[in-house]
Structure 1
Amino acid sequence: MTLSPYLSRYLSVTKPGIIFGNLISVIGGFLLASQGNIDPVLFLATVTGLSLVVASGCALNNCIDRDIDGKMQRTRNRVTVTGAISPRAAAAHGVVLGLAGFGLLAWYTNAVAVTFAAAGFVIYVGVYSLYMKRNSVYGTLVGSLSGAVPPVVGYCAVSNEFDAGAAILLTMFSLWQMPHSYAIAIFRYADYKAANIPVLPVAKGISAAKRQIVLYIVAFAVATAMLGLQGYAGYDYLAVAGATTLWWLGMALSGYKRATDDRVWAHKVFLFSIVTITALSVMMAVDFQVPPSAFAG
């Protein structure tokens, strides 16, 4: 066995795509709070530590989900399903990554950032993966909280407090997770049904999921605006936020057309959700402002 395939198996179990997505958001939160005054050591420690924590959670999730992953077309070739990595090896890999990640965060950041990282980890691995995903239609809602943690960790690593800016980030990214996840559940409907996972489209129907997608995008649009209206981001950010969320909303509303192919529509909504959150993460990183409260005292 060559070294490269061996390493690739251990890399794949950490879900690199999810790590990269969270990397963008944690950087956005960090740079928003830094307001141009970047501590490179703190930045590197925060980004690396949080990425290791996310990788740990994904590895452990793969261990927990290996039975249902084997029933889904998209996931049936994961290394924990095929046996390329044993559950024990994958779990040990996850534990080591988690210890390294939390160690970095604890040493270089602060208690607030570490607390949110730990909360996100426990919600994702413990509450969501072990129970809610398999047993409740509200699993997506619970999982959205863990998905919203990375930008908050990045922000709090700099600010050392959970202020209004951090609260807006938590709300924004939680709300974004919902239409993003429901869109996945629609175009992967057959997989979720085969695995008997009670996501909204399977449990309540695709029409119900479409309505929820529209409502959550509207709520997300309001939350994104608050970051600018509360003085944390500037007019360029607000312009991009307005343009992307309105386009996303229009795309979601187009799903009610009679001739719409739900799978194709949902895939487009999913893809644009990534464009939207990436654009906003970049803009809040480069178009930061000093909120009025910072001048108090």
Structure 2
Amino acid sequence: MKLKRYLLITKPGIIFGNLIAVAGGYFLAAQGQIDLTLLLATVIGLSLVVASGCVMNNCIDRDIDRHMQRTQGRVLVTGQISLQAAMAHGVLLGLIGFGLLWWFTNPVATLLAAFGFIIYVGFYSLWLKRTSVYGTLVGSLSGAMPPVVGYCAVTGQFDTGAALLLLIFCLWQMPHSYAIAIFRFDDYSAAGIPVLPVKQGIKVAKQHIVWYIVAFAGAALMLALSGFAGYGYLVIALLVSIWWLLIALSGYKQEVDDRVWARKLFGFSIIAITALSLMMSIDFRVVPTQALFAAL
């Protein structure tokens, strides 16, 4: 079905993951005061922006996708959708998404969504993904933007809570992405993508993974310690961070199969960020305005 092709090119799995994150940021900031119209506009608008970015990424990556086993069946590679049709699809999704955000949320949330889109499509997809080992780090800024947009849709400003969300989700992206690059090592090598495990080796990538998880744990705990989330969130953040770190450290065992280990690490990264997003949605703290740091 042609409709299914246009749906697949938007990467529905990524959109769904971002739905949970943007909702987490929204509910954290709303502190129980839910504006259903604002919530729906934020979730739908940002989902369309993310979908637009994914379509553009597919258009840009159609040449390297031919060399990767997991992407050889994508519709732009097989010719099931023309490049012109895909581009038009992406532009339309973006226009509707940004329109919803601008009309129903506020300029701060809309500009942050635009920032994430530009980072993902312009800096990451068009440039750094193909040329630099730091592409993953820069790309993490776009991956971290959904909860920040959800938060700022409510507050209308980029404050300490938004900064902590940005830091948490940026740090989470790194072990998550490196794990993918390890168990898809052959694909990335064949496509010539200079991710850290390919460029500097899996051993170096494992070291980075451990330190990023430690940093992630510190940032995640700060959301509660600074008064934005409650003790339930604090306990869950501590438990998932410790468990994730233990999985990372198990990669140093001599008998470990790196690809099996990386898949396990990747799988738990999804559980970890989902758990945190859900907990910040239900275990927020009502923070008096004067207790917040000044907007950055």
Q: 2 CA distance for matches of 1:89 and 1:24?
A: 29
Map 1:162-241 to 2 at 5 A: 162-241=158-237
1:93 aligns with 2:113: no
In structure 2, which of residues 41, 54, 65 is the aligned counterpart of residue 45 of structure 1?
Answer: 41
Instruction: Tell me, yes or no, if structure 1 residue 253 matches structure 2 residue 234.
Output: no
Change (3 A) 1:295 1:217: closer
Contact 1:230-1:291 within 8 A present in 2 as well: no
Question: C-alpha distance in 2, partners of 1:85/1:30?
Answer: 35
Tell me the CA shift for residue 30 of structure 1: 0.3
Q: Does 1:158 align with 2:154?
A: yes
TM-score, normalising length: structure 2:
0.98
Q: RMSD of the TM alignment (CA)?
A: 0.8
Letter in 1 for 2:107: A
Aligned to 1:285: 281
Q: How many pairs does the alignment contain?
A: 292
Conserved? CA contact 1:185–1:199, under 8 Å: yes
1:143-171 deviations in Å (ceiling 9; x for gaps): 10000000000000000000000000000
Residue identity matched to 2:17: G
Counterpart-to-counterpart distance in 2, 1:251 and 1:69: 30
Q: Structure 1, residues 75-105: CA drift from partner, whole Å, max 9, x if none?
A: 0000011000011111110000000000000
The gaps in structure 1 that reach 5 residues or longer are none
How many Å apart are 1:290 and its aligned residue?
1.9
Distance 2:25 2:290 in 1: 17
Alignment correspondent of 1:269: 265
Structure 1 length as normaliser, TM-score?
0.97
Shift of 1:291: 2.7
CA distance in 2, matches of 1:257, 1:292: 48
Q: 2:125 & 2:259 partners in 1: Cα distance? A: 25
Confirm or deny that 1:132 pairs with 2:128: yes
Cα deviation 1:153-198 (Å, max 9, x = unaligned): 0000000000000000000000000000000000000000000000
Is the Cα contact below 8 Å between 1:49 and 1:104 reproduced in 2? Answer: yes
Deviation sequence 1:259-278 (CA, Å, 0-9, x none): 00000000000000000000
Q: Distance in 2 between the 1:295 and 1:143 partners?
A: 32
1:215 Cα deviation after fit: 0.4
- Structure 1: which amino acid aligns with 2:259? R
Aligned twin of 2:65: 69
Distance 1:275 1:73 in 2: 26
1:231·1:292 contact (CA, 8 Å) conserved in 2? no
CA contact (8 A) 1:227 1:233 kept: yes
Q: CA deviation at 1:23?
A: 0.5
Aligned match of 1:123 in 119, 122, 147?
119
Match of 2:2 in 1: 6
Give the Cα separation in 1 of the matches to 2:208 and 2:245: 12
Q: Over residues 55-85 of structure 1, what are the superposed CA-to-partner deviations in whole Å (9 max), with x where a residue is unaligned?
A: 0000010000000011000100000110000
Structure 2 stretches of 5 or more lacking a match? none
- Report the AA paired with residue 72 of structure 2: R
Kindly report structure 1 stretches of 4+ aligned residues shifted beyond 3 Å.
Answer: 292-296
Overall identity of the aligned pairs, in %: 68
Q: Deviations over 1:223-259 (max 9, x none)?
A: 0000000000000000000000100000000000000
How far the C-alpha of 1:294 sits from its partner, in A, is 4.4
Corresponding residue SS for 1:288: coil
Distance of aligned partners of 1:230 and 1:293 in 2 relative to their CA distance in 1, 3 Å threshold? farther
1:18 maps to 2:18: no
1:81 aligns with 2:77: yes
* 2:102 alignment partner in structure 1: 106
Residue aligned with 2:70, SS: coil
Find the residue that maps to 1:153 and give its secondary structure.
helix
